A and B are shown apart, each in its own frame.
Chain A
Amino acid sequence: MSTLEIRNLQVSVDTDNGTVEILKGVDLTIKSGETHAIMGPNGSGKSTLAYSIAGHPKYTITGGSVTLDGVDVLEMTVDERAKAGLFLAMQYPVEVPGVSVSNFLRTAATALRGEAPKLRTWVGEVKDAMEALNMDPSFATRNVNEGFSGGEKKRHEIMQLELLKPKMAILDETDSGLDVDALRIVSEGVNRAKAANNLGVILITHYTRILRYIQPDFVHVFANGRVVEQGGPELAEKLEANGYADYVSK
């Protein structure tokens, strides 16, 4: 049983026009097995929250705390956060030219497990994970995210989620750019990871569409760098009907 606690998190970013405060005090508590949907309009700070927890160097933490089972996450390097059990499925996964998917996955698994996975079982693991996400076997020999379609990038992210078995996953607009079939396949992958590892999930999205496949326990509305409303799945229905206008007009 793990708990990710975000307390009064304040984050700024340096731009050409000076320092801009993006997160203005975010509080969230996520426990193993729970799924928290974070919904909100563009520019409300959802992705900043995701990247800040993962440790992207672009973001400066100016206040507050993030702990995983009481341990300070913000003090950790990016790889240490992954080793502690955090995973970020990125909205725009990065191309790494010349590095094959299979080499990348094996290097990551070796780093996270502390030893190289046994070749025979590993090959089977990767094959199963790829099949489950309806990915062609040739995928393993391609370079990481290079020339991938939007859907392939997202499947690749969720394949890593299943293979690397984190405790807590942040899914940053995993649904964007997916057609109905891909959305279902990717959602099933997330649900498998939840079931297999009692995964806690922060699901960042604009739309309620993905929530039909991945059932949230809590819904948080994000606006202007804060959580402005919280509720159960019914809140998503309300957003679907009314949009975000109520939260951004002032």
Chain B
Amino acid sequence: MSLRSPLGEALGHGAAKDGVHHWRVQRLTAVALLPLASWFAVSLLAMPAHGYAAVAAWVGEPWTAVLLLLFVVTAAWHSQLGVRVVIEDYVHGRAMRTVLLALSGYLHVLAAAAGVFAVLRVALGGAA
């Protein structure tokens, strides 16, 4: 039982002076993903063959590699922002929320790093 006043509860610890950056970047990455994701899907569908050599040659083209890198990083960033909101919405235990938010951050960085490495390796001819 708490004898704290309802207004005290409502005011809480005040405003965290945060949220605008999240909101802005979430929208900016969404707008960037529209052309990037469309380009990625259309390019895959338009490819004559989907064998390793054909795809590796496509990834090796300079603009393809650059756009793929942007796509991987932007998608991971956007996903991280979205998953963060889901965790904040539904996980109410403070310790559990802190752990999950950190874990989600690490996993997204891992996914982005793996994606970037894969694109670079294929594009720069490291794997034959």
Do A and B come together as binding partners? no
Give me the interface of A with B, judged by CB distance under 8 Å. none
Give me the interface of B with A, judged by CB distance under 8 Å. none
